[in-house]
Amino acid sequence: MATAQRVLAERPRRGRSALFGERAGSVLLLVPSAVLVGIFVYAFIGYTGFVSLTAWRGIVPDYTFVGLEQYRQLLELERFQADLSNTVRFTALFLTASIVLGFGAALLLDQRLRGTILFQNVFLFPLAISFVVTGTVWRWVFNPNYGINLLLERAGLGFLKSDWLTNVDTALYAVVIAAVWQMSGFCMAMFLAGLRSIPEELREAAQVDGATWLQTFRHIILPLLNPILLAAVIILGHISLKIFDLVFVMTFGGPGFATDMPGLHMFIATFRQNLYARGAAIATVLLLMVAVLIVPYLIWQQREERRA
Amino acid sequence: MSVAFAARRRRGVRPGRAVLYVLLLAVAVFYLLPVYVVVVTSLKSFIEVSNSTPWDLPRLPNLDAYAAAFDRLRLAFFNSVLLVVPGTMLSALLGSLNGYVLSKWRFPGSNLVFTLLLFGMFIPYQSVLIPVVTVLQAIGLYGGIPGLVLVHVVYGIPITTLIFRNYYAAVPTELVEAARVDGSSILGIYRHIMLPLSIPAFVVVLIWQFTSIWNEFLFAVTIASDPDQQPITVALQGLAGSLLAQYQIQMAGALLTALPPAIIYVALGRYFIRGLLAGALKG
């Protein structure tokens, strides 16, 4: 009896110290990753922000402090103004087209037709392919002498012919089309997952209550897909802001600055023109644009999780 | 939100089905058009590529373009293999350890640590590119594959941690508790309980990292300054620059570059989609 009491009394104490040791051990496992990410993400972002406040140009670092001078110069720079307006236009077109196409494809695939899996795989495979491959192939498609122009002519749509990638007015659209080809499957996958998670009973109940297909769709299905739409906008939106590979391969920002983007401009300014401080300033602006989109989303996700 | 594309019972024949099929086919044509371009063009000779019927099937299909493309891309192809294998394995290992701690050994502030890790997944890498180059130069890893391995392992930590953490969250905590009462250490529980249960998560993560690292271009073009250590995406881009009108070789090269991720996608597409949706949906 006494022994038992002693054991019972001791147990929590031993448990606590063992627990403490275990906790410390578990945190130790996290240390390598935390240190690496701390340095490579947070310290490096800080260093880039610092470089953006200096006068560094040329390959030798120059840490002369110039305040926000680089940012002031950027805002006056024609190329950077083009970057910002191109990013806005590209993102708007890319998001709209990807969501419309992705949602349409998801609705079609949710009709449980024969061959659905095959079509689903066709819509998704571009996601596994490198933007560099996509750019290489679509560059040929938009070659005015070989590509889509000949098909348009054959189809009697010759009035749609264009020089595409070398025409200031159409180059951005061509890049958007290639980007939509690559990424719209992502929207499709998200909307399809959303549609299939809606219980069949819900649709049937609505129909029993006399709702038409369109009413069920508008008042039951669409509202339930709102969180998916938000996630799609945020994920595709931040990919779109960061676009680099595709423009590098298809147009290298040209003709003129017609398809130049902040991500590409940063690379060229820094590693081709050795304007390190300017490159750092562009990178910082780009990071802020992405953060405005992503940080509220991450906080919101955290809250949702805590609630669950 | 469940990510599984569960099949539902088939409904009866509907009048609109033909219309639906026509629409599906129209969308499919858009997605398959570049595939047609690659296959048809890469099987042609240079003379046939330059003629006025580039959309027609090859008259004399041959593999000469593939031989030429492989000859020029062989080195880069194996560079990419040397990059992808350690990059994928190491980031999967780190991600699984992190996911284990963050799901089963929560501590005060562990959610904050997780969110801070996660943010690294979304940053534009341009915002770290200057110090990455500086640091790699300082530690002698700038110029080729070893530096790229380090970079991909580090920037792979957020997504691999996310996938493993969400996966381990579904493993009953009682299993961990029971093993702890039996005196298993933290690493013992990881090795003998979590790891054997982790195969599906490892498949998702390995596929995801393999595809991402293989396809990556920004770090590759910035860090691989040594022409003999270029990954395949950089070499493909260089190929297009040096062989301007040789579209048959460019297309064969594009197909060679796309082949490894495409094979994985065909073989294990289900897991690929899970990785794809991991950042956006919980499941």
The ipTM of this complex is 0.90
> Is A165 at the interface with chain B, CB within 8 A?
no
A57/chain B closest Cα distance in angstroms: 13
For the cut 80, the answer to whether the pLDDT of residue B14 exceeds it is no
Tally of helices (H runs) and strands (E runs) in chain B: 13, 0
- Give the pair of three-digit tokens for residue A213: 């297909």
Note the pLDDT of residue A47: 98
Facing B1 at nearest CB: one of A122, A197, A283: A197
For the cut 70, the answer to whether the pLDDT of residue B138 exceeds it is yes
A51 neighbourhood in chain B, CB within 8 Å: 130
pLDDT tens-digit series, residues A232-269: 999 999 999 999 999 999 999 989 999 999 999 999 99
Are the C-beta atoms of residues A106 and A229 closer than 8 Å to each other? no
Alpha helix (H) residue ranges in A38-147: 44-51, 69-76, 78-109, 116-124, 131-141
3-class secondary-structure state, position A161: coil
How many CA atoms does the CB half-sphere of B15 hold within 13 Å?
0
For the cut 80, the answer to whether the pLDDT of residue A9 exceeds it is no
Q: Of A72, A184, A40, whose CA–CA distance to B121 is shortest?
A: A40
Residues in chain A, how many? 308
How many CA atoms does the CB half-sphere of A130 hold within 13 Å?
34
Is the peptide bond preceding residue A255 cis, with omega within 30 degrees of 0? yes
* DSSP annotation of A128: G
Q: How far apart are CA B43 and CA B58, in angstroms?
A: 6
The DSSP string of A225-274 is: HHHHHHHHHHHHHHHHHT--HHHHHHTTT-STTTT--HHHHHHHHHHTS-
What residue has token string 């080729």?
Answer: B144
What residue has token string 């006494």?
Answer: A2
CA nearest to B11 within chain A: A112
- Give the pair of three-digit tokens for residue A170: 């159409």
pTM: 0.90
For the cut 80, the answer to whether the pLDDT of residue A10 exceeds it is no
* DSSP annotation of A218: I
> Is A192 at the interface with chain B, CB within 8 A?
yes
| Percent residues over pLDDT 70 in chain B | 93
The DSSP string of B73-110 is: HHHHHHHHHHHHHHHHHHHHHHHHHHHHHHHHS--TTH
pLDDT tens-digit series, residues A138-160: 999 999 888 888 888 888 888 88
Residue A130 CA, distance from chain mean position: 15
Query: B23-29 long-range CB contacts below 8 Å, 24 or more apart?
Result: B23/A104, B23/A108, B24/A105, B24/A108, B24/A109, B24/A113, B24/A115, B24/A119, B27/A101, B27/A104, B27/A105, B27/A108, B27/A119, B27/A123, B28/A119, B28/A122, B28/A123
Arithmetic mean of pLDDT, A276-288: 98
CA nearest to A195 within chain B: B5
Mutation to test the A interface, candidates B122, B208, B265, most A Cβ within 10 Å:
B122
CA distances from B281 to A213, A227, A306, B1, B198 (A): 27, 10, 15, 7, 20
pLDDT tens-digit series, residues A208-235: 888 888 888 888 889 999 989 999 999 9
B266/chain A closest Cα distance in angstroms: 8
What values do phi and psi take at B67, rounded to 5? Answer: -60, -45
A54/chain B closest Cα distance in angstroms: 14
B23/chain A closest Cα distance in angstroms: 8
Torsion angle of the four alpha carbons A24, A29, A30, A34, in this order, in degrees rounded to the nearest 10: 110
Note the pLDDT of residue B281: 53
Q: How many CB pairs under 8 A join A and B?
A: 278
Confidence grade of residue A18 (pLDDT, cut at 50, 70, 90):
low
* DSSP annotation of B63: S
Rg for chain A, CA atoms, rounded:
27
Q: How far apart are CA B151 and CA B149, in angstroms?
A: 6
What values do phi and psi take at B203, rounded to 5? Answer: -60, -45
Do the Cβ atoms of B55 and A150 come within 8 Å?
yes
Handedness of CA B94, B265, A240, A171 (dihedral sign): positive
> Is A281 at the interface with chain B, CB within 8 A?
no
3-class secondary-structure state, position A54: strand
A contact residues 96-155, partner B, Cβ 8 Å cutoff? 101, 104-105, 108-109, 111-113, 115, 119-134, 136-141, 146-147, 150-151, 154
Confidence grade of residue A14 (pLDDT, cut at 50, 70, 90):
very low
CA nearest to A224 within chain B: B1
A1/chain B closest Cα distance in angstroms: 23
For the cut 50, the answer to whether the pLDDT of residue B283 exceeds it is no
A271/chain B closest Cα distance in angstroms: 8
Which amino acid is present at A32? P
Q: How far apart are CA A174 and CA B227, in angstroms?
A: 31
Do the Cβ atoms of B98 and A113 come within 8 Å?
no
A contact residues 64-83, partner B, Cβ 8 Å cutoff? none
Q: How far apart are CA A168 and CA A173, in angstroms?
A: 10
Do the Cβ atoms of B124 and A286 come within 8 Å?
yes
Do the Cβ atoms of B118 and A242 come within 8 Å?
no
Q: How far apart are CA A179 and CA B87, in angstroms?
A: 27
Which amino acid is present at A253? G
